[in-house]
Amino acid sequence: MNPARTVLDEYEDLTALILDGAACDAERARFNEIAREFPEFRSIWLEQVRLHALLVCRGGGAPAYGSMRTSSFAPLKRCRRNTG
Amino acid sequence: MKCGTDSHEAGAQALLVKAQFALFAYVCALVGDTEDARDVLQDANLKILRALPDYDASRPFMPWAKSIVYFEVLSYRTRKSRSHLTFADQSFFELVASDAAVVLEETDQDMAFLERRMRKLSGVMREMVEARYLGGMEVKALARERKCSANAVSLLLFKARRSLAECIREARLKGVSP
């Protein structure tokens, strides 16, 4: 463990792992510990998740804007790809 | 002004289609896991569709839709094992939910910004983002291909998302049109 690393660094790393679907239970537990102690870090989560969702949508992992037929929401599951 | 007419429902359905980006971002924020978020949103969409005849068109659509999505997320949380929840801590979850209800409203406009800002990413970052989000590659697969650790890939993606977020924020502040 690099002693210069801060809790914020750790939280950012864990945020990345969670959003990328690469976090294990222990890492999720640690993420929760930090989140409980530093609730102000949630702005980082929201910033990351906003971009993550945009990129997933841009990649076709969610319905395309204006092109989805409301009679069929099935395309939402159409692209169950490895995006996190 | 509740109205169960066809035109009322067609209008509300159009709003729901338009809201998909923002609702997806909202669910992702509360659930964390992208695949689970898709499933939760799919279930929520069906509930919203069923509830459309009760939607009061004189009130904003998004808060109404988000309230249905929120309850779908709560239902997901009761089904999911606590150790697998991204936000096992209920108080932090509620804080995130409260913020996400507001800050993730303008996701559709951000999409237009994103297209332009992608070009400003450095070569490696852009390649990674495209491989991950357009190519659908898993982080582990990307790490193998790039001969680096999965943590390194995740960190680079984190930085790419942050860089894009900053570009979008800056463009908004400057009043640049998407």
Complex prediction ipTM: 0.86
Please name the residue of chain A whose CA is at the shortest distance from the CA of residue B101: A46
Alpha carbons A13 and B128: distance in angstroms, whole number:
17
For the stretch A46-57, pLDDT in tens is 999 999 998 998
User: Which member of A50, A59, A62 has the closest CB to residue B165?
Assistant: A50
Lowest mean pLDDT among A69-78, B26-35, B62-71: A69-78
B113-122 as b/e, with b when 16 or more CB fall inside 10 Å? bbeebbeebe
Contact A82 B138 (CB under 8 A): yes
Contact B89 A68 (CB under 8 A): no
Nearest to A65 by CA among B159, B114, B55: B114
Contact B115 A84 (CB under 8 A): no
| pLDDT in the model for residue B2 | 53
What is the pTM (predicted TM-score) of this model?
Answer: 0.83
Question: How many alpha carbons fall within 13 Å on the CB side of residue B25?
Answer: 31
Contact status, residue A82 vs residue B137, Cβ threshold 8 Å? yes
Contact B115 A58 (CB under 8 A): yes
Interface test with A, best of B133, B155, B167 (most A CBs within 10 A): B133
List of chain A residues whose C-beta atoms are within 8 Å of the C-beta of residue B103 = 46, 50
Contact B21 A65 (CB under 8 A): yes
Alpha carbons B147 and B163: distance in angstroms, whole number:
24
Please name the residue of chain B whose CA is at the shortest distance from the CA of residue A47: B165
Contact B92 A42 (CB under 8 A): yes
Is pLDDT at A76 greater than 80 in this prediction?
no
Alpha carbons B112 and B115: distance in angstroms, whole number:
6
